[in-house]
Homo-oligomer: A and B are copies of this chain.
Amino acid sequence: MSGVAFDPAWIVELYRRMVRIRAFEEKAAELYQKGALPGFLHSSVGQEAVPVGVCAWLERDDLITSTHRGHGHILAKGADPARMFLELYGSEEGYNRGKGGSMHIMDFSIGVLGANGIVGAGIPIAAGAGISLQNRGSDRVVACFFGDGAVTTGAFHEGVNMAAIWELPVVFVCENNQYAESTPHRTVDRAPDLTVRAQGYGIPGELVDGNDLFAVLEAAQRAVERARRGGGPTLLECRTYRWYGHYIGDPAVYRSDEEVASWKARDPLRRVAAWLLEQGALDEEGEARLRAEVEAEIEAAAEAGARGRRPAPESALEDVYAG
């Protein structure tokens, strides 16, 4: 674990974001298991260091694309947990007016181009956003999140290649949590890691410990800065793990308890907390207070979600066309 060069006060803020994601996901899972939320729910508990470490370098008007497992990315980019809960409940006041749900949360006002229910689909979309930025001479960048499962899609290949040949300002962030649903990544991909694939596209690649916020911060900083100054895309593979099954309710019979335990032992939150304690940036009481604050915030957000106005049925016919 590195990180000595980082300002501890800033790391406290990043830690808060990680705690916020964890708390959001745990609350959502609780509500879902109680039957309060319709549809599906994919939890990112265990993967918090990746979105927080990458989005740490993004401004409000930088952009991200996300996935079916998108709550972490979207919160890390600065979304309002209450409007997210409202959407999970299907409320008219949710981010998507109840039309999208968990898998499609979007907030264009802060550059969240969308969670996406189609594996890999965000990758060409991120490339296209990169074209917009490049054509208007902007120094904004796009962070494109996707799972290990997306790596075998045609969309990955076409999208990354397109970004590579035109040196588009995109940071491709693979969250390799080892599984696509039940399928272990090593059974569907013989490359030792994505840096080999990056070579195939003629772009830089890095293999990163995705459970180590500092490792993610360092690699993401290089990649974001490269994209910002016109140096083109980077492919980051962040190795991590999802603590829950594929969806909330998935018994995850395809993996062993030991495997899960070994990854829980490497809890990305605990690592950062330990560093902050070590640095004296937080004491135990301060850490507990931070957690309590965030939990209260999420509790309030969830309650706001539950109280949201239900959509009028006829509103289902709105927003099909803009003109």
Contact = CB atoms under 8 A, between A and B. Distances in A.
Interface of A: 152-158, 161, 164-165, 187-192, 196-197, 199-203
Contact of A156 (B157, B187, B191, B201): B157
Nearest to A159: B154
Contacts of A191: 199-202
A125 to B, nearest CB: 15
A161 B202 CA distance: 19
Nearest to A154: B154
Question: Which 3 A-B pairs rank lowest in CB-CB distance, beginning with the nearest?
Answer: A154-B154, A190-B202, A157-B157
A111 B3 CA distance: 60
A187 B165 contact: yes
Nearest to A155: B154
When all copies of this chain in the complex are counted, the total is 2
A154 B158 contact: yes
Contacts of A188: 161, 165
A168 to B, nearest CB: 13
Nearest to A156: B157
Contact of A152 (B156, B161, B202): B161
Interface-central residue, A153, A158, A190, A200, by most chain B CB under 10 Å? A200
19 contacts: A152-B161, A153-B158, A154-B154, A154-B158, A156-B157, A157-B157, A161-B189, A165-B187, A165-B188, A165-B190, A189-B202, A190-B201, A190-B202, A190-B203, A191-B199, A191-B202, A192-B202, A196-B199, A196-B200
Nearest to A167: B190
A197 B200 CA distance: 5
Nearest to A199: B196
Nearest to A197: B200
